[in-house]
Amino acid sequence: MSSTTTAAPAVTVQKLGGRIGAVVSGVRLGGDLAPETVTAVRDALLANKVIFFRGQDHLDEESHEAFGRLLGTPVAHPTVPSADGRYSLGIDSDHGGRANQWHTDVTFVPAYPAFSILRAVVIPPYGGNTLWSNTAAAYAELPEQLRTLADGLRAVHSNDYDYVSVRPNALPEALEQYREVFTSTKFLTEHPVVRVHPETGERVLLLGNFVQRVSGLTGRDSRALVDLFQSHIERPENTVRWDWQVGDVAIWDNRATQHYGVDDSDTHERKLRRVTIDGDVPVGVDGRSSTLISPEAVPDPSFGIASGASNAEAPAA
């Protein structure tokens, strides 16, 4: 064997906006990346919150998951079965589960995923874009009085929400089927409204469509406050919008973003695959951790390790 090494192609990071989003070039994703390439990808991810890779058509379920292992431990969705008995979850237009509400993935459990890795398999001829928002930037732009207010709040998140009001145009049978699977276990988790990011130290707003109410407030006061903070998350300056092509991969820091799948491709098929990487239990500005209210523990899914299960029962000291 030759002792010379082939120089890896340079990894380039091109920002899409001032606050969020970058395209990363020079990386062929898979389970065999050099450690310095993994470091470059992770750095770009933490800095830009969501990063995009074009032309990753070579990926399949196995190499998608193998790449995920370079960022952490893949975890199964707590209630929705994975595609083909692997960690990869199908995000398909025909399952009634279009994510056209602003949300952070799986916040109804305490240690919700740190990263999500989404791969485009079938893309409609038009529409079907995804938007992401930087929840650290949304917090940072708040006036000091509102940051202080948010710092002291906690909110209850649940996977059992009003699906009909969120998806008024969905077929009732599709909606009911999705609801039955998605809420086969009903979770209630209390999180701080402001989380201290475990890697960057940034303060981020932790809200999204799984929020039921702000702890200790009436429904009306709670809704007004959630809307107030959520409106900063949804401001266009804090967002980036991605127009998918087949073979694209998006990776986002699920601890510092919300996202929204735009439901505007009529009846055209849209099929993506998602691998999520285990996160840790959030900690608020006051040092208090998130707590699982019910059930007593995150049950084991039909396959693999559940998101949130690894840390939920034994929070770090």
- When binding is defined by CB under 5 A, the residue of 11, 16, 38, 99 that contacts Fe ion is 99
Residue 73, both tokens: 């431990």
Relative to beta strand 50-53, strand 22-25 is parallel
Residue 260 CB, nearest distance to Fe ion (Å)? 9
Binding status of residue 146 toward Fe ion by CB under 5 A: no
Residue 130 CB, nearest distance to Fe ion (Å)? 9
Which of 264, 286 has the CB closer to Fe ion?
A: 264
Given 259, 270, 273, 280, the catalytic residue: 259
Compute how many residues bind Fe ion; rule: CB under 5 A. Answer: 2
Residue 91 CB, nearest distance to Fe ion (Å)? 7
The residues with which 74 forms a beta bridge, in sequence order, are 277
What b/e string do you get for 203-213 counting C-beta neighbours within 10 Å, with b at 16 or more?
bbbbbbbbbbb
The residues with which 89 forms a beta bridge, in sequence order, are 274
Q: Is 197 in the active site? A: no
d(CA 271, CA 62): 17
Given 77, 191, 203, 274, the catalytic residue: 274
Stretch in the footprint of Fe ion (CB under 5 A) among 76-84, 93-101, 138-146, 280-288? 93-101
Q: Is 268 in the active site? A: no
Residue type, 314: A
Residue 259 CB, nearest distance to Fe ion (Å)? 6
Q: Is 103 in the active site? A: yes
Name every residue whose Cβ is closer than 8 Å to that of residue 287 and which is 6 or more positions away in sequence. none
d(CA 88, CA 247): 15
Residue 254 CB, nearest distance to Fe ion (Å)? 8
- When binding is defined by CB under 5 A, the residue of 105, 248, 253, 280 that contacts Fe ion is 105
Given 105, 253, 278, 280, the catalytic residue: 105
Q: Is 64 in the active site? A: no
Q: Dihedral through CA 120, CA 260, CA 44, CA 78, nearest 10? A: -80
d(CA 263, CA 99): 8
Catalytic positions, please? 103, 105, 259, 274
Residues that bind Fe ion (CB under 5 A): 99, 105
